[in-house]
Structure 1
Amino acid sequence: MAVLCLRVDSSSYKSGGDPMIILLLLFVILGLSLLAGGIWLAVLGGSLYYAMAGAALIVVALLIRSRRGKAQLVYALLLAATAAWAIWESGYDWWPLATRLGLLMLLAIPLLWPAREASRKPAIALRCIWALTGALLLGSLFNDAHRIEGELTNESVVTNPQLGETGDNNDWSSYGRSNYGQRYSPLEQITPDNVAQLQPAWEYQTGDLKTPDDVTETTYEATPLKIGNRLFLCTPHNWLIALDADTGEEQWVYDAQVPAESQRQHQTCRGVSYLPAEGEPDTDTAEPLSSKPARTLAAMRCDAQLYMPTSDARLIAVDPVSGARCSNFAEDGVLDLMHNMPFEQAGYYYATSPPVVTQDLIVVAGAVNDNYDINAPSGVIRAYDARTGELRWNWDSANPDDTAPIAEGDTYATSSPNSWSVASADEELGLIYFPMGNRTPDQLGMYRTPAEEKYASSVVALSLETGEAQWVQQFVHHDLWDMDTPAQPSLVDIETEEGLQPGLVVPTKQGDVYVLNRETGEPLLPITEVPAPQGTVEGDWTSPTQPVSGLSFTPEPLQSKDMWGATLLDQMMCRIQFQSLRYEGRYTPPSEQGTLVYPGNFGVFNWGGVAVDPERQVMFGMPLYLAFTSKLVAKQDDKSPSGETNQGEQGLNENAGADYAVALSPFLSPLGIPCQQPPWGYVAGADLRTGKIHWKHKNGTIEDMTPLPLKVEMGVPGIGGPIITRGGVAFLAASVDDYFRAYRVTDGEQLWEQRIPAGGQATPMTYLNSQGEQMVVLVAGGHGSIGTAAGDYVLAYKLGAVGL
Structure 2
Amino acid sequence: MNETTGPFAKARLFSTLVGIALALIGLAMLVGGIKLITLGGSFYYALAGAGVLLTGLLLILANKAALWLFALVLLASTIWSIYEVGLDWWQLVPRLALWFVVGIVLLLPWVRRPIARKAGANSIGTAPLAGAVVIAGAVAVASQFTNPHTIEGHLERASAGTLNAAPAMPDGDWQSYGRTAFGDKYSPLTQITPDNVKQLEVAWTYRTGDIPGPNDPQETTAENTPLKVNGMLYVCTPHSQVIALDPDTGKEIWRFDPKLSTQNADSFKGWAHMTCRGVSYHDDAAYAQTEAQASPAETAAAPASASNSCPRRLFLPTADTRLIALNADTGEMCQDFGNGGSIDLTTGIGSFTPGGYYSTSPPSVTRDLVIIGGHVTDNASIDEPSGVIRAYDVHDGHLVWNWDSGNPDATEPLPEGQIYTRNSPNMWSVMSVDEKLGLIYLPMGNQTPDQFGGHRTPESERYSAGVTALDINTGKVRWDYQFTHHDLWDMDVGGQPTLMDIKTADGIKPGLIASTKQGSLYVLDRTNGQPIVPIKETPVPQGAVEGDHTSPTQPMSELNMMPPVLTEADMWGVTPLDQMLCRITFKAHRYEGIYTPPSLQGSIVYPGNFGVFDWGGIAVDPIRQIMFATPSYMAFTSKLVPREEVEGGPARKSETEGVQPNKGAPYGVIMGALLSPMGLPCQSPPWGYVAAIDMTTNKVIWKHKNGTVRDSAPVPLPLPMGVPALGGPIMTASGLAFLSGTLDQYLRAYDVRNGEQLWEGRLPAGGQTTPMTYTGKDGRQYVLVYAGGHGSLGTRQGDYVVAFALPKQ
TM range (shorter): over 0.9
List gaps (5 residues or longer) in structure 2: 1-5, 290-306
Within 2, Cα distance between the matches of 1:485 and 1:517?
17
Within 2, Cα distance between the matches of 1:631 and 1:572?
21
How many residue pairs match? The answer is 774
Give 1:279 deviation, angstroms: 5.7
1:92 aligns with 2:100: no
Give 1:469 deviation, angstroms: 0.7
8 Å CA contact retained: 1:623, 1:682: yes
Q: Which residue of 2 aligns with 1:172?
A: 174
1:351 aligns with 2:359: yes
Give 1:133 deviation, angstroms: 0.9
Out of 534, 552, 557, the residue aligned to residue 526 of structure 1 is 534
Task: State the secondary structure of the residue aligned to 2:36.
Answer: helix
Out of 661, 680, 697, the residue aligned to residue 687 of structure 2 is 680
Out of 636, 659, 662, the residue aligned to residue 655 of structure 1 is 662
Task: State the secondary structure of the residue aligned to 1:105.
Answer: helix
**Within-5 A mapping of 1:481-560:** 481-560=489-568
Task: State the secondary structure of the residue aligned to 2:126.
Answer: helix
Give 1:303 deviation, angstroms: 2.1
Identity of aligned residues (%): 50
Out of 35, 40, 51, the residue aligned to residue 45 of structure 1 is 40
Letter matched to residue 326 of structure 1: C
Out of 412, 425, 438, the residue aligned to residue 430 of structure 1 is 438
Out of 774, 777, 785, the residue aligned to residue 784 of structure 2 is 777
Q: Which residue of 2 aligns with 1:190?
A: 192
Within 1, Cα distance between the matches of 2:97 and 2:524?
48
Give 1:641 deviation, angstroms: 4.8
8 Å CA contact retained: 1:646, 1:653: no
Q: Which residue of 2 aligns with 1:264?
A: 271
Out of 54, 59, 63, the residue aligned to residue 64 of structure 1 is 59
8 Å CA contact retained: 1:482, 1:601: yes
Give 1:332 deviation, angstroms: 1.0
8 Å CA contact retained: 1:633, 1:641: no
Q: Which residue of 2 aligns with 1:7?
A: none
Within 1, Cα distance between the matches of 2:286 and 2:756?
43
1:235 aligns with 2:243: no
Q: Which moved more, 1:310-319 or 1:75-84?
A: 310-319
8 Å CA contact retained: 1:111, 1:123: no
1:703 aligns with 2:710: yes
**Within-5 A mapping of 1:136-175:** 136-165=139-168, 167-175=169-177
Task: State the secondary structure of the residue aligned to 1:493.
Answer: strand
Within 1, Cα distance between the matches of 2:13 and 2:405?
76
8 Å CA contact retained: 2:379, 2:655: no
Letter matched to residue 192 of structure 1: P
Letter matched to residue 430 of structure 1: G
Q: Which moved more, 1:153-162 or 1:692-701?
A: 153-162
Q: Which moved more, 1:254-263 or 1:587-596?
A: 254-263
1:307-343 per-residue CA deviation (whole Å, 9 max, x = no partner) reads 1111221111111111111101111111111100133
8 Å CA contact retained: 2:20, 2:60: no
Distance 1:388 1:50, change over 3 A: same
Within 2, Cα distance between the matches of 1:12 and 1:82?
33
Q: Which residue of 2 aligns with 1:750?
A: 757
Give 1:359 deviation, angstroms: 2.1
Task: State the secondary structure of the residue aligned to 1:721.
Answer: coil
Q: Which residue of 2 aligns with 1:6?
A: none
8 Å CA contact retained: 2:381, 2:449: yes
Task: State the secondary structure of the residue aligned to 1:278.
Answer: helix
Letter matched to residue 100 of structure 1: R
Distance 1:391 1:89, change over 3 A: same
Letter matched to residue 242 of structure 1: A
Give 1:99 deviation, angstroms: 1.3
Task: State the secondary structure of the residue aligned to 2:48.
Answer: helix
Distance 1:13 1:526, change over 3 A: farther
Out of 383, 396, 418, the residue aligned to residue 388 of structure 1 is 396
Q: Which residue of 1 aligns with 2:625?
A: 617
1:517-538 per-residue CA deviation (whole Å, 9 max, x = no partner) reads 0001011111011101000111
Distance 1:19 1:223, change over 3 A: closer
* Runs ≥4 residues deviating over 6 A: 11-16
8 Å CA contact retained: 2:465, 2:482: yes
Give 1:257 deviation, angstroms: 1.8
Q: Which moved more, 1:112-121 or 1:671-680?
A: 112-121
8 Å CA contact retained: 2:626, 2:695: yes
**Within-5 A mapping of 1:170-569:** 170-258=172-260, 259=262, 260-278=267-285, 301-569=309-577
Within 1, Cα distance between the matches of 2:390 and 2:650?
38
Within 2, Cα distance between the matches of 1:657 and 1:681?
37
Letter matched to residue 38 of structure 1: G
Within 1, Cα distance between the matches of 2:444 and 2:650?
32
Q: Which residue of 1 aligns with 2:3?
A: none
Give 1:616 deviation, angstroms: 1.2
1:27 aligns with 2:22: yes
Within 1, Cα distance between the matches of 2:250 and 2:491?
38
8 Å CA contact retained: 1:343, 1:414: no
Within 1, Cα distance between the matches of 2:397 and 2:436?
24
1:102-148 per-residue CA deviation (whole Å, 9 max, x = no partner) reads 11122223311433283635312212211221232133133221111
Q: Which residue of 1 aligns with 2:636?
A: 628
Give 1:16 deviation, angstroms: 7.2
Within 2, Cα distance between the matches of 1:98 and 1:727?
40
8 Å CA contact retained: 1:363, 1:383: yes
Task: State the secondary structure of the residue aligned to 1:172.
Answer: coil
Q: Which moved more, 1:149-158 or 1:650-659?
A: 149-158
Length-normalised TM-score, structure 1: 0.94
Give 1:277 deviation, angstroms: 3.2
Distance 1:279 1:580, change over 3 A: closer
Give 1:472 deviation, angstroms: 0.6
Q: Which moved more, 1:261-270 or 1:605-614?
A: 261-270
Out of 99, 102, 111, the residue aligned to residue 107 of structure 1 is 102
Length-normalised TM-score, structure 2: 0.93
Distance 1:71 1:659, change over 3 A: same
8 Å CA contact retained: 2:181, 2:433: yes
Within 2, Cα distance between the matches of 1:303 and 1:759?
36
Task: State the secondary structure of the residue aligned to 1:530.
Answer: strand
8 Å CA contact retained: 1:623, 1:684: yes
Distance 1:156 1:300, change over 3 A: closer
Within 2, Cα distance between the matches of 1:110 and 1:207?
53
1:588-643 per-residue CA deviation (whole Å, 9 max, x = no partner) reads 0000100000000000001000001111111001000000001110013x974555
1:574 aligns with 2:569: no
Distance 1:722 1:233, change over 3 A: same
Task: State the secondary structure of the residue aligned to 1:31.
Answer: helix
1:80-101 per-residue CA deviation (whole Å, 9 max, x = no partner) reads 0111111111110111101111
8 Å CA contact retained: 2:26, 2:50: yes
1:791 aligns with 2:794: no
The root-mean-square deviation of aligned C-alpha atoms, in Å, is 1.9
Letter matched to residue 94 of structure 1: W
Distance 1:61 1:338, change over 3 A: same
Out of 114, 123, 128, the residue aligned to residue 125 of structure 1 is 128
8 Å CA contact retained: 2:521, 2:560: yes
Q: Which residue of 1 aligns with 2:298?
A: none
